[in-house]
Structure 1
């Protein structure tokens, strides 16, 4: 974080005026973390092998020439390429023990739902379409294409997969309590009559990928708070009002 300590009032004003202060702080925080994360020999070997293969390089002389064309050194390039991997490892080591609690808090948002939808204005038409679908379930797509006034008419009524908690609360509640494959009675949501059918509900699970995502989200929350804290300290130290 030495870069932040070197900021004087003039530089602070310049960064703030161009809305670059928070980006700089965030970048420096991440760099300070990654400076402590070692690039292993295995990482270096794999990266170099991939570059040789992708760039059709035959030996180190060609590799060095390629580096020159990129205005980079081997060390700079490897640190850049491994940045995401090292940050991911850091997040898992630091926050994976908190992943389950965040998962339980965010579970509805991690459930993925696919459903069929028809939106129309007239209640009598909604009821008529509902009965037609009950008689012939395969007609849902054609009827959505013909009658639905939302964007779903171009996808034959299919919406998703999307996060379960997206959309109007009434729709979310309806889908949560639906049985896959059964068409729901029309309900009024704001200005529309809505006919739905749950096609598939994929429950979120606490697997390795989810733990990684939750750990990264926790880190990002910490990072945002830290950026605000440092930015406020700079603001107070220079007693300079900026528009945000």
Structure 2
């Protein structure tokens, strides 16, 4: 429960250091990001104390005061520690979480060309179907997303993280099929379906489940802080 994790010392820190800046942080849209960062810092300290492991603070690879260390190294050190903390807290529920969310964890890989116009998306679709140009060529020339630079290839994603209309389309498709344009946010996308991987309870899936649990828990802590700790005018 949030109130159990918000100890008196944590509450005092929030009221002393965050509350005076709360209104400014809220108006700038940064308040929740600041609280999220603070929660992660508290979790890292909590985990290291519990396990008597101060690697994050003393190991050269993950020392935040080591100027030779890249921001990327620090980020991964923080994420690794959060994952270890989450394992301590929720690993006993991983199998249950997997069974509850299995349909949402299937992995989909695909290529995509995004454009603003539905009509232009259909023009690209017909050119692909007629083999007038390769997907990579049309992606580089017309694509409006960051994936255009790598031939339209998108990172493999869970079925929950992409539009439902795309999920339904690829379920009926075979590898290499070019799908008719679909709405994708405020754009329209032409998709080349690559692969559908049914979820397995492996290390990667465990990490996804634990990360999802941490994010939900973190949001509940932030909501508690906003409703019970901080006084924002």
Question: What TM-score bracket applies, with the shorter chain setting the length?
Answer: 0.5 to 0.7
Q: Which residue in the other structure is 1:111 paired with? A: 107
Q: Which residue in the other structure is 1:132 paired with? A: 130
Query: 12, 16, 20: which one pairs with 2:22?
Result: 16
1:1-244 matches, within 5 Å, as: 1-6=7-12, 13-19=19-25, 22=35, 26=39, 27-28=41-42, 31-32=45-46, 34-39=48-53, 51=60, 87-103=82-98, 104-105=100-101, 107-108=103-104, 111-115=107-111, 117=113, 121=119, 125=123, 128-129=126-127, 131-133=129-131, 139-141=133-135, 144-145=138-139, 148=142, 150-151=144-145, 154-155=148-149, 158-163=152-157, 164-184=159-179, 186-187=180-181, 189=183, 195-235=190-230, 240=231, 242-243=232-233
Mapped to 2, the partners of 1:111 and 1:18 lie a distance apart of 41
Q: Which residue in the other structure is 1:63 paired with? A: none
Gaps of 5+ in 2: 1-6, 26-30, 67-76
Q: Contact 2:83 / 2:211 at 8 angstroms: preserved in 1?
A: yes
Root-mean-square deviation (Å) = 4.8
Mapped to 1, the partners of 2:14 and 2:201 lie a distance apart of 46
Structure showing greater radius of gyration is: 1
Mapped to 1, the partners of 2:9 and 2:177 lie a distance apart of 60
Mapped to 1, the partners of 2:103 and 2:214 lie a distance apart of 18
Deviation per CA, 1:152-183: give whole Å up to 9, x if none.
89458533124244554333321232100233
Q: Contact 1:112 / 1:202 at 8 angstroms: preserved in 2?
A: yes
TM-score (normalised: structure 1): 0.56
Mapped to 1, the partners of 2:182 and 2:36 lie a distance apart of 45
Mapped to 1, the partners of 2:44 and 2:88 lie a distance apart of 15
Gaps of 5+ in 1: 55-66, 71-81
Q: CA deviation at 1:198?
A: 1.3
Q: CA deviation at 1:97?
A: 2.3
Mapped to 2, the partners of 1:33 and 1:194 lie a distance apart of 44
Q: CA deviation at 1:32?
A: 4.2
